[in-house]
Amino acid sequence: MTSLSLWSKCRPFVSFISMQGHRPALLSSGPYSTRKDCYSRQMSSMSESKPKTGIMMMNLGGPENQEEVHDFLLRLFLDKDLIPLPAQNHLAPVIAKRRTPRIQAQYAKIGGGSPIKRWTTLQGEGMVQILDKISPESAPHKFYIGFRYANPLTEDTIERMVQDGVQHAIAFTQYPQYSCSTTGSSLNAIFRHYNQKGNPGNMVWSVIDRWPTHHGLVRAFADNIRSEIKKFPEEDQDDVVILFSAHSLPMKVVNRGDPYPTEVAATVSRVVEDLGHSHAYRLVWQSRVGPLPWLSPQTDEAIKGLVNRGRKNILLVPIAFTSDHIETLFEIDHEYIEELGSEVGAKNIRRASSLNNNPIFIEALADIVKQHIDSRVGCTPQLALRCPMCVNITCGQAKDFFKNQQDQLDAFYRVSSERISTKARN
């Protein structure tokens, strides 16, 4: 088991242990039931400029420096929907203060802070440059970063999008595989913001909630794997075992119907197919904590087992992450490769590069958004479906919120098409 605890590390899946947390229903109708004819009048009263598309790139986030670690932890432990605690307002500050030095030490080993904002910025910049070229009808496009516990926070980003005059807001998860505890958590945050602030007004929302088998994602992973295998000694390259490592998930969450394991497996299957089934592989799961059953086999246990059976050339592939952060740079690189690999006697153990600013991946991001815009679908049937055994009330409310955006989205596209036709005639 990794030496990093769920509580001290504050991983993206911290909410897995708390999905029985409940929040009372606040709104079931009202400002979210805006009629499409009303929206059409609002849109018609706007300027005749091209529709502005704002793309919120959603993720957990991470502290950029040592000074931000405490606030990052405090926000996480204050979130009752993710981590229900007794006397939460009193206990959360105590936990955050106690954990801060340990987390700061871990970040110090990877350069002092999380690089996730830097990578997301580079990805977003490249994505919108491509979108302005391939989707002029929805231009200009602007990317925004919406983190759950680090700046820029999701709620602040929503307000910034409103101030910028964004007309079509796209909630674009940066988790290729959907889970209620990652993408679902970010969507819940958007819902809560409007639950407190009221009607979204002229800005209409749609959601890109998953993309586990997109051809660009698959190709980027496969190319990185091919490149890394070539760095093994030539005589060992055919013997390399590929371990696709994804963040684990408690079985109690899986048993509620969370689609995450299936979607991660779908990504792995497509990548292996792209590789031509050239190497033996397994899907493994990292970051398990606590005594409850989690998805298995665990990454560290798989490494030990393979080496003990004579397979000492191992390539780790972070298949559920789209950029480097503490899980890749500390847990995989430091704990698994440097420490565990040496401990068990692995001959060659390496990690495939993260997607980061891979141009194929950035093109994939743009293509995903382009396909979404062209579909004119605000909320997919898969997103609208609650897990069969879901116990999170807010989850259902958030799904209803995004489903109810479709009428406004239809009106938005109708008005946009009319503007384009008018300009073409003139």
Spatial separation of the C-alpha atoms in residues 347 and 236, rounded to whole Å:
9
Residue 7 corresponds to which amino acid?
W
Q: Cα-flanking dihedrals φ and ψ of residue 316, to 5°?
A: -95, 135
Q: Among all residues, which ones are annotated catalytic?
A: 214, 367
Question: What DSSP string describes 179-229?
Answer: -TTTHHHHHHHHHHHHHHH---TT-EEEEE---TT-HHHHHHHHHHHHHHH
CB 297 within 8 A of CB 247: no
CB 357 within 8 A of CB 120: no
Tell me the chain's radius of gyration from C-alpha atoms: 22
Spatial separation of the C-alpha atoms in residues 331 and 329, rounded to whole Å:
6
Spatial separation of the C-alpha atoms in residues 408 and 137, rounded to whole Å:
18
Helix locations, 324-392, DSSP H: 326, 341-344, 359-375, 381-384
Q: What number of other Cβ atoms are within 10 A of residue 39's Cβ?
A: 22
Tokens representing 325?
């952060």
- Output the CA–CA distances (angstroms, integers) from residue 40 to 46, 169, 424, in the order listed: 10, 17, 21
Mapping DSSP to helix (H, G, I), strand (E, B) and coil, where does residue 352 land? coil
Spatial separation of the C-alpha atoms in residues 31 and 262, rounded to whole Å:
36
Q: Each residue of 244-258: b (16+ CB within 10 Å) or e?
A: bbbbbbbebbbebeb
Pairing of strands 241-247, 281-286: parallel
